[in-house]
Chains A and B, each alone.
Chain A
Amino acid sequence: MIANFGYGVLFITFLVTLYSVFAAIYGDRKQIPAMVESARRAMLLTWPLLTLTAGVLIYLLVNNHYEVQFVYEVTSRSMPTYLKITAWWGGQAGSLLFWSWLMSAFASLVTLRKWDRDREFLPWVIVVACITMAFFIGMNVFFENPFAQLYQTFDGVAAHTLRPADGVLFTPEDGRGLNPLLRHPGMVIHPPMLYLGFVSFVIPYAFAIAALITGRTDDRWIRLTRRWTLWAWLFLSFGLVLGGRWAYDVLGWGGYWGWDPVEIAAFMPWLTGTAFLHSVMIQEKRGMLKHWNMPLVILTYDLVIFGTFLTRSGVLSSVHAFAQSAIGPLFFAFIGLTLITSVALIIYRWNSLRSETQMTSLLSREALFLLNNLLFMSILVVCFWGVIFPLISELFTGQKVTVGPPFYERATSPLFATLLLLMGVAPLSAWGHSTVKTLGRAIWKPTALALVVTIVLFATYTQKVGALIGFFLIALVILVTIYEYWRGAYARQRSQGENVFTALWNLTGRNRRRYGGYIIHISMMLMAVGILGIEIFQMETQGTLKQGESLSVANYELRYKEIAQWDDLPSGVNYRRAVLDVYEGGEYLGQLAPRIDYYYDSQQNMTIPGNRSTMRDDLYVLLVDWEPVAATGATFKIYVNPLVNWLWLGSLLFLAGVVIAAWPEKEAERVAVKARARVQQQTSAAD
């Protein structure tokens, strides 16, 4: 009964989104503002409606309504309440609903803003947001109903939306329980972050399409969505980092990133989103690249849809899995349709998207930003090819293949290295015009210092060429960024008489976007240190030890002390926990306790590492195997992951950088106009 109510509300929401689409189009075409207003209100209604639907689903999850198939599949009686709630996004049907719910929240937020100056965008933003929502809600209504209930019929037990004629409601005693991997706190936050990133990228896309349809193709749509894009980017980036952290803590393979198609699916919109964030600046500053920003935001939107689909289904692994999946072909049809429509609109508006100014130098900031875009797109090409190649191979040759980390690492590392170099050079180039001479004058000092850093590292830390190139580029970017800060702060110190800290504070406060961006650059470099550390210097060993025996790796020695096994019956988990004493160069450092947790409800193991983490390296130990018969022996896998902590530290700084860059600037436009006027005055005075 309650489940039917939830489904009913969901169905009504689907109709409301469709109404909103038609009312907005009709109102705009016939010039009836009341109809557009009605569409807006209909769209505002979707959030409360979906909240009610979600509330019903959560009620069913929390109260063990196992007659509902989704509840049966993702929860069990032994799970704590908070996990029963987060199980909402633990399965396909629920996570599609979660997506729509977040989307409706964002769409409502956008609709509540003041539209005085941009009224003509409104109906089309509504149309795009509501078509997207209608698609996702439609998936739930027609294919992945989270409220489908289990019925016993003559043919057995099966899930149905409506009761079959001969069906009797079937309620299992207990549910199958959430996949233990999803019971980790990281997994509680990671999907919402990723989805927040995904749905908020729909907003800039909606405005871009509105700009194309209305013909207002100046940079207004970019200015309106700049902050949305930054927040979207923040959520997506943080979602990716959290996913990495979760993998590191839970998956038990000693790393945070495995170039899995599911990971790449979330990474691809990040690549286009990052390219977009950079290239919109060229349109704002120079009125160029209008032709390019549109496809970029369209691509980001479609990659978001593709990513959502792939992260939830994994059907790309095989042609057969794809063909058998009910939602696979529909997702592709939707992506195809939106792509074709959007491209058609760009072609239609091609002439009005011409650049307002000329490119004057290959070393100008805009030229280097374009190169940055080329690199991001190149990484995207590699990723996309890697994801679809197995499918293409199977389709054309019948041969199933795997595209694993070696391909991605080999193909993307030169691209990433060039990107780092660009990150070092671009902040020093000027908009409009730069020459080798001006750029050389600005960059030689940071380059010389970066070389000194590299030489010191060569003498003290590593002789590996790849690592040294990486460290040189990282040092260059950090030094250039610090140099930029110093230049600004120095100018303020002299002109305003401020001390260093006030000068830095005011400098960042007055130009949040620029200096927030620089903080993001530095944070990326800290992350790069972590990535370089684990990619190049990771060491591992594995061995089976008897009690008292030890295993050595790098400078560490681990002595197997004891193992214990016990049941935690209320939680339905069996724990196997080994204890090892850790020594470095003979000195006792403490104990590590890797575990294997076995979940009775889902009959799955979880390998929890014992990890000793410092800024120098992580000592990461896994209990691989344990034979209860020979209770004295256990197999351990030990990784030494140098510098990996810098990755997590960098991600925190990254968070700070984006918040600074996205923080609303009071009367930002007025200040900018004043500054521009002052510069013009000075220039004319100089003439």
Chain B
Amino acid sequence: MYKLKFLQITNYGLLLAVLAAFTFAFTNQTIVFAQGPTPTDDEVNRIAKQLYCPVCESTPLDVCPTEACRQWRDLIRTMLTEGKSEAEIKQYFVAQYGARVLAEPPNRLVTYLVPAVAILLGAFMLFRGFQMWMKPSITETDAADVKPAQDPYIARLEEELKKQK
């Protein structure tokens, strides 16, 4: 059930491969090969790990087995060879395919702010709840009766421990 769509994308994969090849071919960048030492797979994966192709949902690029993703990795390798930085490479993919290639939405503030506010609101409500519950109400509480309500099991346990001491 997890990642069911993982491999159901062969056709899209092919399409994307062609697309990737075209977009790269028609950009204004000059492809210069072998300017520096060939980057290792680990260097490529370090960047690929942070990217997602638009087809293989929820599968980071470094582990995606489709042909299209392999070509994207090759593209990263080529760009690294050209001396492009990590930020430049990511920017290139965002420019070509949109922000969805990144592992996180670009507008971090909104992404994190909404759950943070919701959680703080929950915490505040709980705090208010505590205040309300702890305020002794005249009708319900007889002050003389406020006694630590013990868990009967713990009470027995403590009792037995006390006896033995």
**Given A179-B4, A393-B105, A407-B104; A358-B111 close (CB under 8 Å):** no
Report chain A residues within 8 Å CB of B151. 285, 365, 430-432
Give the distance to chain A from B67, nearest Cβ to Cβ, in Å: 10
CB <8 Å contact, B8 and A411? no
A605 and B65 within 8 A (CB): yes
Tell me if B19 counts as interface (CB < 8 A to partner A).
no
Which residues between 629 and 687 of chain A lie within 8 Å of chain B, taking CB atoms? 635, 637, 672, 675-676, 678-679, 682-683
Does the CB pair A377–B122 fall under 8 Å? Answer: yes
List the A residue with the shortest CB-CB distance to B106: A401
CA distance A606 to B122 in the complex (A): 44
Cβ contacts B30-52/A at 8 Å (1 or 0 each): 00000000001110010000001
Interface residues in B102-140 (C-beta closer than 8 Å to A): 102-106, 111-112, 114-115, 118-119, 122-123, 126, 129-130, 133-134, 136-137, 140
| Chain B, Cβ-Cβ closest to A263 | B2
Are B122 and A676 within 8 A (Cβ)?
A: no
Q: Which residues of B contact A243 (CB under 8 A)?
A: 1-2
Q: Are A360 and B134 in contact (CB under 8 A)?
A: yes
Do A253 and B59 touch (CB < 8 A)?
Answer: yes
Residue of B nearest to A378 (CB): B119
The answer to whether A204 has its CB under 8 Å from any CB of chain B is no
Q: Report Cα–Cα, A432/B146, bound state, in Å.
A: 10
Q: Which of A190, A367, A410, A495 contacts B160 (CB 8 A)?
A: A495
Point out the residues of chain A lying under 8 angstroms from B25, CB to CB: none
Whose C-beta in chain A lies nearest to the C-beta of B45? A542
Known: A399-B99, A431-B149, A491-B161. Contact between A605 and B7, CB under 8 A? Answer: yes
When chains A and B are docked, how far (Å) is the Cα of A191 from the Cα of B5? 16
Instruction: Classify the interface of chain A: helix, strand, loop or mixed.
Output: helix
In Å, the complex CA distance between A503 and B43 comes to 58
| B128 CB to nearest A CB, Å | 12
Give A411 to B118 CA distance when docked, in angstroms.
Answer: 13
Say how far B29's CB is from chain A's closest CB, in angstroms: 24
In the docked arrangement, what's the CA distance between A243 and B2, Å?
Answer: 7
Q: Pick out which of these stretches binds chain B: A104-112, A221-229, A254-262, A566-574.
A: A254-262
A432 touching B65 in the complex, CB below 8 Å, given contacts A179-B8, A355-B133: no
Of B4, B45, B60, B119, which contacts A262 at CB under 8 A?
Answer: B4
Q: How far is the CA of A311 from the CA of B58 in the complex (A)?
A: 14
Q: How long is the Cα–Cα vector from A182 to B4 in the complex, in angstroms? A: 8
Residues of B within 8 A of A606 (CB): 7
Query: What's the nearest-Cβ distance from chain B to residue A245, in Å?
Result: 11
Across the interface, which residues of B come within 8 angstroms of A529, CB to CB?
none
Question: Is A320 an interface residue, CB under 8 A from the partner?
Answer: no
Q: Does A286 contact B (CB under 8 A)?
A: yes
Q: Do A543 and B41 have beta carbons less than 8 Å apart?
A: yes
Say if the beta carbon of A2 comes within 8 Å of chain B. Answer: no
Determine how close the nearest CB of chain A comes to the CB of B154; give it in whole angstroms.
6
- Which of A495, A625, A679 is B163 in contact with, Cβ under 8 Å? A495
Asked if residues B118 and A381 are in contact (CB atoms below 8 Å), the reply is: yes
Contact A191 B102 (CB under 8 A): no
CB pairs A–B below 8 angstroms (29 shown): A182-B4, A243-B2, A246-B2, A251-B6, A252-B63, A253-B63, A260-B57, A262-B2, A358-B141, A359-B130, A359-B133, A362-B134, A370-B126, A371-B126, A381-B122, A385-B118, A390-B100, A402-B100, A404-B52, A410-B112, A432-B151, A487-B161, A494-B160, A495-B163, A511-B153, A544-B41, A603-B10, A637-B41, A675-B152
Closest 7 CB pairs of A and B: A432-B149, A433-B148, A359-B133, A404-B103, A542-B41, A253-B63, A401-B105
Known contacts A401-B102, A432-B148, A542-B41, then 7 further A-B pairs from the complex at CB < 8 Å, ordered by chain A residue: A243-B1, A358-B136, A390-B100, A406-B104, A491-B160, A495-B160, A544-B41
> Which residues of B pack against A, CB within 8 Å?
1-8, 10, 40-42, 45, 52, 54, 57-60, 63, 65, 70, 98-106, 111-112, 114-115, 118-119, 122-123, 126, 129-130, 133-134, 136-137, 140-141, 146, 148-157, 159-161, 163-164
